[in-house]
Amino acid sequence: MFRYVFLFLILLEISLVGSLSGAVRKVEINSRQILLEGRGFGSSGPYELLEGSVLFGFDPAHPANDRIVDLKLAPRNTEDEVEARANLVVLKPADPDRGNGIALVEVSNRGGKFSLSYFNRAMDRELVVNNPDSFGDGLLMRQGFTIVWVGWQADVPRGKGLLRLETPVATDLNGETITGLVRSDWTVDEPEDTLPLSHREHIHYKVDDPAHPDNVLTVRDGRDAERVVILREKWHFSKKKQEADAITLENGFQEGKIYELVYRTRDPSVIGLGLAAIRDIVSYAKYDENSLFPARHGISAGVSQTGRFLRQFLYHGFNTDEEGRKAYDGMMIITAGAGRGSFNHRFAQPSRDGHRYSAFLYPTDIFPFSSQTQSDPETGRSDGLLAHMMNEKSVPKVFYVNSGYEYWGRAAALIHTSVDGKKDLEPLPNERVYHLASGQHFVAPFPPEDKAGFTNERFLRGNPLEYKVNYRSLLVRLADWVSKDDTPPASAFPRLEDATLTGFNGFDFPHISGVDSPQKAHNAYRVDYGPRWDRGIIDHQPPIVGSSYPVLVPQVDAFGNELGGIRNVELRVPLATYTPWSLRIGYAGGADEMIDFWGNVLPFPKTVEEKAKTGDPRPAIKSLYPNRKKYLEKVRTAAEDLAAQGYLLPEDLDYLVARAADYWNWIFGSPDGP
């Protein structure tokens, strides 16, 4: 059996001061292990796992770092640089010459790792070197990628094995403490005694003075209802694990209410260094002759929060490093919709996002939305996602990949329509836009079990439409586009010109008994964060809300499944209606609003008799397919067509047919059915 001396833990320190990698100053590897006892992954051979940290030193005077808010106010080392340290994890071919020469840098979502789950179908997200479940079917390794994870987010919880970036605190020009306003909000779905200041257990900003008059708590009955100030003597800051990390309210917090706290805080971290860290780690891989994980090309991947991060990365022009070189050759921006986020402003909270009925009005869904520069007809402002690139030669090749949920919950249509919502925009030559029709924000576990209060017990919350197969193929196609200049699959998204994209009032969902379709979708607004927002400082907390941008969503077919985009086998050979949205049925407040991230699956009636009994407008399954065998034959034909278009890998056809068989068995309770 092929073995390496790297099986034992070592401490390897490589000092790189003044190296060609720009801001990378030191890489420390404290664990280096071979995977699965040296098992090979096709022509790529065995892989190894490196774990350690990286020290960055950023030049505050360099133009490439100008957009980092408060960088010039951060403490410096003896080299006049601002330092930050990040966790580092790398999976790489043990023999670099056997890889494909591409570093896939995953921008980790809230400190975790998604690549092996999304692209390898791994069952376990923990990297355990001798556990096959950690590596799935090995697609990334068989393709020869080097997979890199580096901490970029400063507010990730400590002590949970998560990737994070240790960032400095800014002070004013006299070295004095900086204070400012920060906001927390909560949609309370059941009675609570205390509410945490943090979001999703992330590290929150400290309360500067618990008695400060700027500390204001409000309550409202709904998303757009009037805020009512709660008397200061009725609530107070409380302590669970550290000083002032929660609030309590006399008689508790009521279910069905929305609470919002604005408080004065201090000591802003230089959050925008995360953007530079993601830039410089790939420059180190590509350009440093001493790199421990060398690469010829770099692709970044981000999902949800970190897809939005990559849109911010582009908008702030970070794809050119301090030496003027292109950082990433390609980007796969997944389920980000038209959003960006709190990734580079004073007192930013990167974990915060923004939804229809939670986390309200953080700087997420804000103009500009499209890569092309456009003028907002109301404000007169002109801007675009690529308008601030330092070097036009640094523009990467980009795949924007969104599920149906992002059209309902993240204003995704604005990335490929005009600001006024009246015409389609074609993607730029360096872009492809893909809509995963009818998918919810993530692929739900199968089989789903949440009845969600539906009167028909066969209708369930949790949409299992399987679109990770598309991610697998699209990543391979992006790699071929980057490294070989092979033409990638055509963009596939709903359009106004063919009526597959519609104004919200034109949405034509079938009238299925017991199912209400949404009467509201998430809005992107013109929002005023204050006079210093262009410098990355928020003065208006909460912000002042102006008019809404147009709301456009994919139209549906007679079955209720979305048109336009990549229509996977579940829609081409349907057994059910797959909605990317789900209403807040069963919750105390906002029952007519959408729940974050989730969709529904609504199986068709099984037989003609059941259809007649229920009055369901959709066809009976047995009228579409006489038996399971014929159904699966149609599924395979549909999958082969998707593979021919480049949206599936041929190796995934059997998996999809087996998945389709599971759908049939789940609905009928057996392979044969009634």
Confidence (pLDDT) at 357: 97
CB 408 within 8 A of CB 521: yes
Q: Is the Cα dihedral 230, 235, 237, 240 positive or negative?
A: negative
Confidence (pLDDT) at 305: 98
CB 581 within 8 A of CB 405: yes
Q: Which residue has the tokens 């890998």?
A: 649
Confidence (pLDDT) at 21: 53
Q: Where are the domains of the chain?
A: 1-169+269-295, 179-266, 460-668
Confidence (pLDDT) at 672: 63
CB 167 within 8 A of CB 83: no
Q: Which of 523, 508, 520 is nearest to 591 (CA)?
A: 520
Q: Which of 541, 530, 538 is nearest to 217 (CA)?
A: 541
Confidence (pLDDT) at 19: 43
Global pTM value: 0.96
Rounded to 10 degrees, what is the CA torsion of 242, 246, 247, 253? -140
Confidence (pLDDT) at 654: 98
Ranges of the chain with pLDDT below 50: 1-20
| Distance in angstroms (rounded) separating the CA atoms of residues 246 and 585 | 29
Q: What separation in angstroms does the CA of 390 have from each of 67, 382, 492, 613?
A: 11, 18, 30, 64
| Distance in angstroms (rounded) separating the CA atoms of residues 347 and 342 | 9
Confidence (pLDDT) at 241: 67
Task: Check whether the bond before 368 is cis (ω within 30° of 0).
Answer: yes
> How many beta carbons lie within 10 A of that of residue 422, not counting itself?
10
| Distance in angstroms (rounded) separating the CA atoms of residues 500 and 83 | 50
Structure tokens at 337: 């919709």
Rounded to 10 degrees, what is the CA torsion of 434, 437, 440, 443? -80
29-32-37 Cα angle (round to 5): 170
Q: Is the Cα dihedral 401, 404, 410, 414 positive or negative?
A: positive
> How many beta carbons lie within 10 A of that of residue 558, not counting itself?
10
Q: 171-176 — which CB contacts under 8 Å span 24+ positions?
A: 171/73, 171/75, 172/73, 173/73
Please write the tens of the pLDDT for every residue from 199-218.
999 999 999 999 999 999 99
Structure tokens at 190: 């059941």
Q: Which of 264, 259, 262, 263 is nearest to 249 (CA)?
A: 259
Q: Which positions ≥6 away from 71 have C-beta within 8 Å?
A: 58, 60, 65, 82, 270, 272, 273
CB 285 within 8 A of CB 67: no
Structure tokens at 445: 């576990």
| Distance in angstroms (rounded) separating the CA atoms of residues 593 and 587 | 10
